[in-house]
Amino acid sequence: MVEPLEDLRRRGILHVDMDAFFVGVEQRERPDLRGKLVIVGFPSERSVVLSASYEARAYGVRSAMPMANALRLCPRAIVVEPRHALYYEASRELMKLLGEYTDLVEPLSVDEAFLDVSGAVRRLGAPEKIAASIKAAVRERLGLTASVGVASSKFVAKIASARCKPDGLLVIRPEETVPYLHSLPVNALWGIGGKTAEVLARLGIHTVADLAHTPDSTLQRMLGASGLHAKALSWGIDDRRVTPQRDEKSIGAEETFGVDVTEDSVLRRELLRLAHRIAGRLRSAGLEAGTVALKLRYADFSTLSRSRALTVPTDSAQVLFEEGVRLLAALGPRPQSVRLIGLRGERLARGGGAVQLSLERRDDNWRTAEQALDAVTARFGNSSLRPASLLDDGEERRRPPSLPDAAKGPDEPTAPFG
């Protein structure tokens, strides 16, 4: 018989989750923000919270919450301009650090990852010792804090990290797994959202234990095929392996305007801003885009997308911008005003491949200028240096006049594309 501790050593899974990552990076760069009510985002009524300090969360502020709601809950919050280049650099440093412990690192996003440390226990000690070492290294080398869950499966490790935030470490051993899971509310299970939880509650299913003891036929009737998957999780059954680095398939950004837009000049200016944001992320990741895609959402919420394949992959903002403008022009007259515009680089590949040959020096000039922008932006933020055409970028038209001055920030967050 395998002893519980030996089983955990045999399959030790860690879930490392940074604490309020964007806020943490900003507080590292600006110590005056520590202990304050901080929200990373842009105070437009249609924008959302990207990250909130735990002090702001005490007021009910949460990531992905509409900014208008967040500022009503926490009117004294300091809204900080998002600096995506800085966050991606911190993410690269984090993933590099995690790779020093094991080759089996599976990033889930910029600020969290699964690690399989089973093969490292002989060299580094028990999984909980490795987790403590990672937390200390994150604090000392990155100036940030992380919460780590330790278990024998990915699902349980992720639950553990969520239950010990902020700056916590929670170990759930194999023999503790089922009793621990059965003490949780049913929405702790993956795939059980608010509406599904309401349906289950009407049938008297409130906890993971309730679901675990519900007949398979009942779960299949209520939840379909996912019902049996949820039941397996309720008993701690999750055999998925940690899969190392997954390459991004696309990188994009979009802007929802505070006031619907009809002017082509405003749309083109926003495309230029988005192109620089995307290109900076591409260069940071060492990637190039083979396709450029444009997205428009009109006032009635109808949405369309168009894309164009490039002759040569690029990481240049100028190329992305020019292609975006061509796609916009190809749409012809717009039937109504525009609520949202987005740009995306797709068919990503590692940089260093084919280079477009040109007799014009401007291609090299653009590349050199954009690399200089990367360096300045990473250090001083998005508004420190920008193309001249963005100096008068209509920020006041996107900023609701009713928001307090202390909450104003000079740029908008990146929202998901699609």
* 313-332 per-position pLDDT tens digit: 999 999 999 999 999 999 88
The CATH number linked to 100 is 3.30.70.270
DSSP string, 71-88: HHH-TTPEEE---HHHHH
Of 146, 110, 142, 149, which Cα lies nearest the Cα of 127?
Answer: 149
One domain for residues 135 and 46 = yes
Specify the range with the lowest mean pLDDT, choosing from 115-119, 141-145, 298-302, 319-323: 298-302
Average pLDDT of the chain to the nearest whole number:
84
Rounded Cα–Cα distance for residues 259 and 282 (Å): 30
Average pLDDT over residues 347-364: 55
The answer to whether residues 5 and 152 belong to one domain is yes
User: In the chain, pLDDT over 90 holds for what percent of residues?
Assistant: 59
Host H or E run for residue 371: helix 362-380
Tokens of 285: 């990741």
pLDDT tens across 63-116, in order? 989 999 999 999 999 999 899 889 989 999 999 999 999 999 999 888 999 999
Kindly tell me if the per-residue pLDDT of 375 is higher than 70.
no
pLDDT of residue 353: 47
Residue 242 in any domain: the answer is no
Contact 34, 23 (CB under 8 A): no
Domain-ending residue, one of 174, 204, 225: 174
Residue 172: CB partners within 8 Å, gap ≥ 6? 149, 150, 151, 156, 157, 159, 160, 180
Instruction: Tell me how far the alpha carbon of residue 173 is from its chain's centroid.
Output: 29
> Whose CA is closest to 298, among 342, 268, 329, 330?
342
Does residue 3 register a pLDDT over 60? no
What pLDDT score does 415 carry?
Answer: 34
Does 290 reside within a domain?
A: yes
Section 39-50 average pLDDT: 86
In the residue annotation, 112 being an active-site residue is answered as yes
- Of 59-68, 168-177, 241-250, which gets the smallest average pLDDT? 241-250
On the question of pLDDT at 286 being above 60, the answer is yes
- Residue 265 and residue 121 share a domain: no
Total Cβ atoms within 10 A of residue 32? 8
Please check whether residue 117 lies inside any domain of the structure. Answer: yes
Q: Write out pLDDT tens, residues 394-411.
A: 444 443 333 332 333 333
Better-scored residue on pLDDT, 28 or 11: 28
3-state secondary structure of 313: strand
Banded pLDDT at 413 (limits 50, 70, 90): very low
Asked if 266 and 224 sit in the same domain, the reply is no
Contact 81, 382 (CB under 8 A): yes
Pick the range with the lowest mean pLDDT from 123-132, 190-199, 285-294, 295-304.
190-199
pLDDT value at residue 381? 55
- The dihedrals phi and psi of 290, each to the nearest 5 degrees, come to -95, -15
pLDDT at 9 over 60: no
Residue type, 242: V
Mean local confidence (pLDDT), 294-307: 91
- Which strands, in side-by-side order, build the sheet including 38-40? 51-52, 38-40, 78-80
My answer on whether 145 and 107 are in the same domain is: yes
| Distance from the first to the final alpha carbon of the chain | 50
Burial of 142 (0-12, 13-18, 19+ CB in 10 A): middle
Structure tokens at 36: 């304050």
Residue 112, pLDDT score: 95
Q: Which of 11-20, 156-165, 282-291, 349-358 has the lowest mean pLDDT?
A: 349-358
Residues for the chain: how many in total? 418
How many C-beta atoms surround the C-beta of residue 404 within 10 A? Answer: 12
**Do residues 267 and 365 both lie within one domain?**
yes
CB burial class (10 A; 0-12, 13-18, 19+) of residue 42? buried
Residue 265 included in any domain: yes
Considering the domain boundaries, does residue 46 fall inside one? Answer: yes
Whether omega for the bond prior to residue 166 falls within 30 degrees of 0, making it cis, is yes
What local confidence, expressed as pLDDT, does residue 32 receive? 97
The domain spanning residue 193 has which CATH number? 1.10.150.20
Q: Does the structure show a pLDDT above 80 at 390? A: no
Same domain, 68 and 203: no
Least confident of 106-120, 174-188, 247-261, 270-284: 247-261
Count: domains in the chain: 3
Structure tokens of 121? Answer: 């226990």
Same domain, 9 and 152: yes
**Per-residue tokens: 402:** 């009713």
> Is 80 exceeded by the pLDDT of residue 29?
yes
54 domain residue, yes or no: yes
CATH number of the domain bearing residue 265:
3.30.1490.100
29 Cβ partners below 8 Å, 6+ apart?
86
17 appears as a binding residue in the annotation: yes
* Whole-number pLDDT of residue 360: 43
Q: How far apart are CA 45 and CA 61, in angstroms?
A: 15
Catalytic residue among 26, 106, 112, 288: 112
392 labelled binding-site residue: no
> Is the pLDDT confidence value at 361 over 80?
no
Higher pLDDT, 385 or 170: 170
Amino acid in position 208: V
For every residue of 163-217, DSSP letters joined together read HT-SS-EEE--HHHHHHHHHTSBGGGSTT--HHHHHHHHHTT--BHHHHHTS-HH
- Residues 255, 353 within the same domain: yes
User: Within a domain: residue 240?
Assistant: no
The confidence score (pLDDT) of residue 256 equals: 85
Predicted local distance difference test score (pLDDT) of residue 410: 31
State the pLDDT at residue 10: 59
Residue 414 lies in a domain: no
Do 254 and 398 sit in the same domain of this protein? yes
**Structural domain for 166, as ranges:** 1-174
Mean pLDDT to the nearest integer, 8-30: 90
Are residues 379 and 272 located together in one domain of the fold?
Answer: yes
Please identify which residue in the block is written with the tokens 């507080």.
27
- What is the bridge-based pairing of β-strands 38-40 and 78-80? parallel
398 and 378 belong to one structural domain: yes
